[in-house]
Amino acid sequence: MADKLIIVESPAKANTIKKFLGGDVKVMASMGHIRDLPKSKMGIDLEHDFEPEYINIRGKGDLIKSLKKEAKSAKKVYLATDPDREGEAIAWHLAHILDIPENSECRVTFNEITKETVKNSIKSPRKIDMNLTDAQQARRVLDRIVGYKISPVLWKKVRRGLSAGRVQSVAVKLIVDREEEIEKFIPEEYWNIYAKLSDLKTKKVFDATFYGKNNKKLELHSKEDVEKILKDIENKKYIVTEIKKGERKRTPAPPFTTSTMQQEASRKLGFTLKKTMSVAQGLYEGVNVGKRGTVGLITYMRTDSTRISEEARAAAKEHIINTFGNEYYENRYYKTKGNAQDAHEAIRPTYIDLEPEQIKEYLNKDQYKLYNLIYNRFIASQMSQAVYSTINANIDVNNYNFRASGQTLKFKGFMLLYVEKIEGEEEEKEASLPELSVGEEVKKEKIDPKQSFTEPPPRYTEASLVKALEEKGIGRPSTYSPTITTILERRYIEKEQKQLKPTDLGKIVNTLLTQNFPDVINVKFTAKIEEEFDEVAEGKENWKDVIREFYGPFEKTVEKVDKELEHVELVEEVSDVPCDKCGRMMVIKYGKYGKFLACPGYPECKNAKPFVEVIDVPCPVCGGKVQVRKTKRKRNYYICENNPKSCNYISWTKPKLGEEWKPEEQEKVKDTSKKTTKKVTKKKKTTKKTTKKTSKEK
């Protein structure tokens, strides 16, 4: 009989904690949620004040029996699930199943899984926080109601099996809206004039850019504008009229929150959100690092706070002064955003003395990369500013102004260790100017006018979508990754070279939902609901009041939409492909794996065939149609309809009119296809081995 039973969510976390406590302590894993709403029905009693009908999750019967048996024989049971709303709700469900009284002090949380934190937390358990539990219940119940009431509209008008979600549908809307902006965008012409000038004394060449006339900014929109200026400054003298010297400081970025970690891991490491959270979970739950044994290497990875503990601050100070010197340390406090829950610290290393290089041999490649990122970001956040010496020169030629600027890094500060990568921004480069003086003449070496066109806003990447969701108050740290993963899996959006674009299915679903449920599939509404969940978590609002307030108007909208759409037939897109069985023109339909062609004569004629997308540029080799196909990893490639019969055109990049094709492209695509096939085959073999082993064990 164990003296203490500690229940956590995962076996990895259980193993780490067991090693810290030893003795007569049993640590078990619940393997995530133990109870949930049923999958076969809504599971919300709408007639009795939205009471959720929880059931034990199928397949967890043996685990529940085992937990009950151990809980019955233990003197004390501690529920040590994750320190967030989801973890609090899991603890509450466990307490219900194990008959632990609601006011029992059984709840412990670990912001970091270190020996000291675990032992101290066990010494001071608390009651289950019903405010946090209710906030999670409110989200779960409201999302279930939205899904179960809206999804049937999609079944009737698009196809069965589709589903709508409160947060997911808004994320799809953002991506569709961005795509529409890109499609409607009309490029505007603009020009720049670049000058290469040289100092007469030193002969050093430097760059200057056209600014305006008489020190007023002048925008150039046509070739005629540029030609007039070039004519006005031809054979004129370039005189330095102003020199400004100064200093510019750059401050380090704060320690990671969940969203900034996801964004930076995407930009710097190429990780998906799902991968980032999976690797971070492993670092939090514990890694064996040799002599020190198994320890949690980072603090809890679901947080929207940039706050750090005074102990961590002191450890960072000591490390920075000892490693880099006193002048590199600066005590910093970062302001957490207004809508942040601030329940946990920022994401940081738990032990400052465990430097990434020191424990590299104990980490796998991905763990090392992410730990290195978290460690350096945290240390850099407590370092001094970087300092640049700047110089700006104004150069006049016949009343027209050119500007030249230079900067040199005077003191690296935090940049010695870490520089944040911001999407769309170029890396800062050093550029020096010669020692110029006011009144001196500089020589024109070259004038280079350049035509450009304004570009549409870029498509979202996973990183920039997370940033947008956070800025708009949609979702919370725990929801960003599952939201994007879900809409990718449902094929409402797809990835094209890291960019997210809506599929045709995503566009149809978005149109149907935003036109018929504008008050729900709406950025402001979604953000307002998140704020109400936060108020429930803080004990300021009752969770059922939030649901009641939402449900009345929502139910009326659903009834209205049902009536309006009852006699509306979905107009199907007709293709130019005739049915080879009955001759009717086939229509484009949407299945589980995307578009396919089907005969409109169904059920008399059940003919169906794959849909092949064709682009509007002819094959650069033979002039045939170019088809868009996908690899097993969903990457697009372009192939001639006559390949391999009479044409060998195949390429990763979309062909352009008049562009010459290089045959070596064919080999690149073929090589990648072979690699993919080998990898898939290997995985299959591994699965067989695992199956055999399992059979023996049985």
Comparing 271-275, 401-405, 564-568, the range with the smallest average pLDDT is: 564-568
Quick one: CA dihedral 56, 57, 61, 63, positive or negative?
A: negative
Average pLDDT over residues 619-646: 85
Q: Which two tokens stand for residue 376?
A: 């350096």
pLDDT in tens, 389-444: 999 999 999 999 999 999 999 999 999 999 887 765 666 777 889 999 999 999 99
Rounded to two decimals, what is the model's pTM?
Answer: 0.82
Res 187: pLDDT: 92
Looking at the chain, how many residues does it have?
Answer: 698
Res 337: pLDDT: 67
pLDDT category, 671, cuts 50, 70, 90? low
- Of 10, 21, 3, which Cα lies nearest the Cα of 90? 10
pLDDT category, 679, cuts 50, 70, 90? very low
Beta bridge mates, 219: none
DSSP 431: B
Structural element, H or E, at residue 238: strand 238-250
Residue 309's Cβ-side half-sphere holds a number of Cα atoms within 13 Å equal to 16
Whether the predicted pLDDT of 472 surpasses 70: yes
Query: Residue 602 catalytic?
Result: no
Res 567: pLDDT: 66
The residue to which tokens 């203490």 are assigned: 4
Annotated catalytic residue within 54, 211, 300, 418: 300
| b/e sequence 426-449, b meaning 16+ C-beta within 10 Å | eeeeeeebbebeeeeebebeebeb
> Is the bond into 603 cis (omega within 30 degrees of 0)?
yes
Q: Which residues contact 496 (CB under 8 A, 6 or more apart)?
A: 459, 636
Structural element, H or E, at residue 696: helix 664-697
Whether the predicted pLDDT of 75 surpasses 60: yes
Res 691: pLDDT: 39
Q: Which residues contact 491 (CB under 8 A, 6 or more apart)?
A: 503, 505, 506, 592, 593, 594
Q: For residue 309, with 0-12 CB atoms within 10 Å meaning exposed, 13-18 middle and 19 or more buried, which class applies? A: middle
Q: Which two tokens stand for residue 307?
A: 């706050």
Question: What is the rounded CA–CA span in Å between residue 268 and residue 276?
Answer: 12
DSSP 313-353: HHHHHHHHHHHT-GGGB-----PPPTT----SPPB-BS-TT
Whether the predicted pLDDT of 668 surpasses 80: no
Comparing 23-27, 567-571, 668-672, the range with the smallest average pLDDT is: 668-672
Whether the predicted pLDDT of 326 surpasses 90: yes
Whether the predicted pLDDT of 669 surpasses 90: no
Res 678: pLDDT: 40
- Of 100, 147, 132, which Cα lies nearest the Cα of 540? 132
Whether the predicted pLDDT of 672 surpasses 60: no
Q: Which residues contact 621 (CB under 8 A, 6 or more apart)?
A: 640, 647, 648, 649, 661
The residue to which tokens 């108050």 are assigned: 473
Mean pLDDT of the chain, nearest integer: 88
Question: What is the rounded CA–CA span in Å between residue 586 and residue 588?
Answer: 7
The sheet that has 585-591: what strands, in order across it? 573-578, 585-591, 594-598, 608-610
Question: What is the rounded CA–CA span in Å between residue 517 and residue 228?
Answer: 55
Q: Which two tokens stand for residue 580?
A: 């080879």
Are the C-beta atoms of residues 561 and 517 closer than 8 Å to each other? yes
Whether the predicted pLDDT of 179 surpasses 90: yes
- Of 35, 12, 48, 40, which Cα lies nearest the Cα of 547? 48
Whether the predicted pLDDT of 583 surpasses 90: no
pLDDT category, 154, cuts 50, 70, 90? confident
Quick one: CA dihedral 555, 557, 560, 563, positive or negative?
A: negative
